Amino acid sequence: MQIRTRLTLLFLLLAAGILAAVLSAVYWMFKKNTEESFYQGLINQTEVAAQTILLDANKLHPMPSNWIAPDDDINNLPYQENLSIFDQSYQRVFSTNPNAVPIPARDLETIYKHGEERFIHFNLHAYGRTVSAPDSRPYVIVTEGYCNPTVILELRNILIFSFLIGVFLVAVSGWYYAGRALDPVTSILHEVEKIQPSDLSKRVETIKNKDEIGRLAITFNLLLERVERAFLMQKMFISNVSHELNNPLTAIRSQIDVLLQRDRSQEQYKVALNSVLDDLKSLNNMEQQLMDLARVYTTPHSIPRSPTRLDELLWQASDQHKKRNPEYPITIEILKLPEQEEDLIIHANETLLKLALLNLMNNACKYSPDNSAQIKASFEKGRHQIEICDKGDGIPEEERHLIFEPFYRSPRHLQVKGTGIGLSLVKSILNLHEIDISVESPPSGGTIFRLIFPE
Ligand code: ADP
């Protein structure tokens, strides 16, 4: 069922329920009030009868079935209803309408028992009460009549008609307003249908209202932006990876081709094999980085942590970096140390954190003209900070939010070997440890990657 239909039906059911309840209450109260005032009339007439007819005991005698009250009796009494008087043996001794259906003995008995009673006799409302004649004999006077049913019936018809009209108006207006309320959703739906994976640059038109639908459009656009970025990164990854795979593979192939063209000396074979080994190492390095990234991405919560001394970790990373890249010099400057050694201990995954530092050191050297990097560390209780600085050409402002995206490589550095994975891996590892990273490229040149550890 469409939302519009469902909303209209719900609205209709609700409104119809409320309307029916209100109209029923109005009908019920009116009916009750009418009955009450009618009974009040009957009671008054019974009083008058008690005071007039019963005073003249001569008028009271068992009545034959064809008995009709003398005209003066009827005309002198201010009522149009049937009024009958019964003696103790339930015998009718007076009536304004002898043709009236006799009151059953059961009802008369109840009146004698309770002193007075209201009851329905056929379709007439009746009131009866006991009275004592001047000679102390007890009688029962019963007055009965139609409780103006036409007024109640008319009111009932008016209320039913109003209910039907009301329900119709609610249905029409509900359908119209549900349609209007859902209009923006429908237009978003049409726009979304037009968006194809081949062109993710399209956006849903946002409406000015900041209501739920306006926010839905904005959220959807943000989602589209992320999807577009992910697609872009994927494209970049494919082209980078194929480029990075292609370079060493082509080099290996051409070196082997050249080697096989004729016999070579042992020295030449050695040089060529070493070069092939270098290319294989770079392939191996790339594969390793991809594996690390996959690990951090897929199982972030199951990565074990242990108490780790931060200064030692930094020295170990620098040693490892020197061993791997002896041609990349690194200097470490410790600006501050805490008084207590244990204040240097953090809870971390040593291997991953070292890997992040190694990547930052490697980048700093790689993108510096002299291939050197300077590390400045300040270890204070709860305020550890490490800066990895280089003297490269810096990172322009507009690139800074992109460098941490997986597979992003600056077009300025395409001639430098790389995969575009390093910094995204660094970011994921630092996120895991809640370590904040910021990038700064001062106008004087170079880049500073600043790591601020949580308190
Ligand atoms: P890779 O170095 O393999 O290309 P990274 O993810 O480590 O990939 O870095 C992404 C991009 O960020 C690099 O291509 C480079 O353009 C830029 N970058 C990273 N570190 C530096 C730096 N220290 N100086 C200048 N540019 C850098």
Mean pLDDT of successive 10-residue stretches along the chain, which has 455 residues: 87 94 95 90 85 67 53 46 85 79 88 92 88 83 84 91 94 91 84 82 77 84 86 75 78 90 91 89 80 77 88 95 91 94 92 93 96 96 94 93 86 86 91 94 94 93
CA of 423 to the centre of ligand 1 (A): 7
Q: How many angstroms is it from 304 CA to the middle of ligand 1?
A: 28
Q: Which atom of ligand 1 lies closest to the CA of 407?
A: 6
Residue nearest to atom 15 of ligand 1 (CA): 410
- CA separation for the pair 178, 430 (Å, rounded): 49
Q: Would you give the DSSP letter of residue 196?
A: B
Mutate to test the pocket of ligand 1, among 290, 355, 413 (most ligand atoms within 8 A of CB): 413
Query: Are 436 and 397 a contacting pair, CB within 8 Å?
Result: no
Q: Is the CB of 409 under 6 A from ligand 1?
A: yes
Q: Is 143 in the pocket of ligand 1 (CB under 6 A)?
A: no
Using a 6 Å cutoff on CB, does residue 84 contact ligand 1?
no
Burial (CB count <10 Å: 0-12, 13-18, 19+), residue 44: middle
What is the structure's pLDDT at 371? Answer: 94
Residue to mutate (ligand 1; options 240, 357, 402, 403; most atoms within 8 A of CB): 403
408 lines ligand 1 (CB under 6 A): yes
Task: Decide: 437 in ligand 1 pocket, CB within 6 A.
Answer: no
DSSP 222-268: HHHHHHHHHHHHHHHHHHHHHHHHHHHHHHHHHHHHHHHHS---HHH
Domains and CATH numbers, the chain: 3-153 (3.30.450.20), 212-296 (1.10.287.130), 305-452 (3.30.565.10)
Distance 434 CA to ligand 1 centre (A): 22
Q: Determine the pLDDT at residue 80.
A: 56
**Which structure tokens are listed for 265?**
């000396």
Q: What is the pLDDT of residue 446?
A: 95
Rounded to the nearest whole angstrom, what is the distance from the C-alpha of residue 411 to the centroid of ligand 1? 10
Cα 28 from chain centroid (whole Å): 42
The CB of 422 under 6 Å from ligand 1? The reply is: yes
- Tell whether ligand 1 has an atom less than 6 A from the beta carbon of residue 446: no
Tell whether ligand 1 has an atom less than 6 A from the beta carbon of residue 403.
yes
117 lines ligand 1 (CB under 6 A): no
Q: Which residues contact 175 (CB under 8 A, 6 or more apart)?
A: 4, 8
3-state helix, strand, coil in the chain (%, to 5): 55, 15, 30
Model pTM? Answer: 0.53
Q: Which of 321, 395, 438 to mutate to test the pocket of ligand 1 (most atoms within 8 A of CB)?
A: 395
What is the position in ligand 1's atom list of the atom closest to the CA of 446?
A: 24
Please report the beta strands in 268-381, taking only residues with DSSP state E, as ranges in sequence order: 306-309, 330-336, 345-348, 373-378
